[in-house]
Structure 1
Amino acid sequence: MLLSVIRKLDEEDAIRYTIILILPTRLPPRPFILSLSQKECATALCACLLVYCFTRGKIVPHQGQLEASLALTSGRDSAVIARTGYGKTLCIAILLLLEPGTITLTVSPLKRLQMMQVRDFMQKYNIPTIAINEDTPQSPELWAKIAKGEIPHLIVQPEQFRMNHGHLPRLARLLNDRGFSSKIARVAIDEAHNIYTAGTVINGHPAFRPAWGALGKLQVKLPKTTTLQALSATLPGYIYHTIHQNLGFRSDSLIISASINRPNIIYATHVLVDGRRNLHNLDCIIPDPFHPPMHLPKIVIFHGEKIETSNVSQYLNARLPEPFQKLGIC
C-alpha cells in the first residue's frame, strides 16, 4: 500500500515524505534537485523513497543513478560508463520499482553473472527476476507467466534473441507476440562493450559471439517507445561509437560518465620487450624464488584473445613452486 502511494506522489508530497524519512545528508545534492523540472523532481524523489523502503533504509540512489533513470522516463536512451561498484545495477532496478506492470530486458554475457544479478534483484529489491539462457527450463507454466508479463525482469544472454544452433529459442519466438513485446518498456545492455569486443570482426578475426553484434536488430520487434541503456566500465570513444550505431541510439541520448578510479587500485606502466606475446614480461608478477609467507597482490591482466589468456595463466602457474600450482593463485 505504501509503495503504491509513493509512486503517485506529486512534487510537494514527494519532498515532504523525503524530508520525513531520509536524512538530508544521504540525499542527492540540492543543486541537482533544484535543476530538475517539477515532474523530474517528483520522479527522482519517489525513486529515492522507493529504493530506501525496499532496502530497509540501506540504500538511497545517488545523482548519477537518478540521471540515468530520468533519461529513460523521459524517453531518452542512455549510456552509463562507470567503474565496478558504482551501482549500475540500481540504474536498472529504479525503473522497475517506479513503473510496475512493465518489462525490462537486461542483456548479460555470462551465466554466473546472470545468477548473481537474479539474486541481487530478488533479495535487495524484491523484483521478480529470471535468467534466460540455454539452461532455462521449458516448463509451460513458467513460460506462460513470462508471456503474461508476470515476471517483470528478464536477464537474457544475447544468443536467446536469434537463431542458435539451428533453432529459434523460445524467447525469440515470444518476441513475435505483440501482446508480450508491447510490455517491454526498456532494454538494459550490461557489459555493453561486448557489442564491439565480442560481436564485431576485429583485425580480420571473426566475432567471438556474433549475437552481441546483432542486438540492434531487436528494435524491429519492440515498441518505438522502448528505451535503451548501455552499461559498462570500459567504453572508450571508438567502442561507444560502435554501440551507438549498432543499437540505433536516439539523437538526444545521454552519456553519464563517472571516474573509474578506485581507492584500492594502483595504476602502473611496464615496458614490454618484444611485444605482449613474450611472457617473460610478466616475470615481475611472481617473485623468484616464491615462498611462504610471501604475499601476491591482486593483479588483473587483460588479453583480447582466449589463447593468449590461457598461455599467460599456464606460464604464471608454472612459475610457482609445485605445491602452490593449480591452487587458483594464478
Structure 2
Amino acid sequence: MPDGPVRVRLGMLSETLEQALDVAGDVWPTSGMGLGAIFERGAVSLTADGELRPIRGQAAAELLGALDDAREELLAAEAQYAFHRYVVFVLTREADELETTWLTLADQHLRIRAEIVAARREEERLKRALAALGLRTTPLPEHEELPSLGPDRPRKSRGMYANLLDGAAAVVAELDVLPERLAEADHLAEERGWATEWGEHARLIVFAHGLALAEGEREADALDPDNDATVREARQQARERFMGLEGRSATLRFRLFDLRHNNRIVGWRITALRIEERGMRNRLELFEQDRARLEQTLAARRAELGPAAEALSSAGDTDKESSWRTRLSRLFWS
C-alpha cells in the first residue's frame, strides 16, 4: 500500500464540486487534499454508522434533541440528493446517446427493408420473363413478412422532468485520499451493494455523505447552542430544507427508476435491431446473387431462342394481361 495519498478521479456535478471547495476552505495546500479530506470524513463516518456529532449547549434539552433529529434527516437527504442528481444527469445523457443509436439503426433497418422489397420484385420480374421463354422457375414464398419496426420509438420524457437538470454540468474532480481510507470506502461499497448497483459511481455516495456531514458540522459550529430561540429557528430551517429536498429527491428517484428501466429496454432493442440487420443484409445478398444468376440464365435463353424470344415475351405479357382481366371479370360479374 502506498505511503502517501493516492489520486482519485471522481465524477460529480459542478455544483457539488463548488460546494465541496467552499466547505473545504483554503486551509489545505491543494484543492485535491481538501476534497480528499471530505471523502475520508465520509468513509470514516459511514463505517461508524454515519451519525452527526450531537450539539451540546445550555438550551433546552428537548430543543437540542429535536434539532439533532432534524439535522440527521437533513444529512441523509442532502447526501442522497447530490448523488441521485448526478446519476440522473449521467443516465439522461446515456439515454440521449441510446436514442440516437436506436434511431440510426431504425433508419438503416428501413433502408435495407426497402432494398429487399425492390430486390424481391426484380427477382419476380426475371422469373416471369424466364417463364415466358419456356423455362420453369420456383416462385417466391407467398406472404413472407420482413421484420418490421414497432410504432413505439423511444421518446424523451417531458413535463415534470423538463427543468429537472437546468444548469447542471458534469465534471471530474481529483481527490488526494489516504490509501487506507480509500480501501475502507471500497469495502463499504462492496459490503452494502453500492458497487454492484452503481458501479463506478459508488464512491460518490461516500463523498456526498462526507460533504453533507462537513456542511452540517460547519453550520453547527456557527450556531449558539445556549439560546432557545436560535436553536428553535435552526431546527425550523433544517425541517424546511429537508421538506424541500424530500420533494425534489422523490422526483429524482422516480426519474432514476424511469431512466434505468427505459435505457435497459432501448439497449435490448438496439441489440435486436443489430441482429435483425445482419440477417436482412444476408438476405439481401442472397437476392443479389439470385438476380445475377437469373439475369445470366435469361440472357443465355434469349440467345438460344434468337428472334423468337421477343415474340414469346410479348405473348407472355398478353397472357398475363388476359389472366388479370379474366380474374377481375369473375370477381365483379360472377
Normalising by structure 2, what TM-score? 0.18
Q: Which has the higher contact order (CA 8 A, sep 6+)?
A: 2
Normalising by structure 1, what TM-score? 0.18
Higher strand fraction: Structure 1 or Structure 2? 1
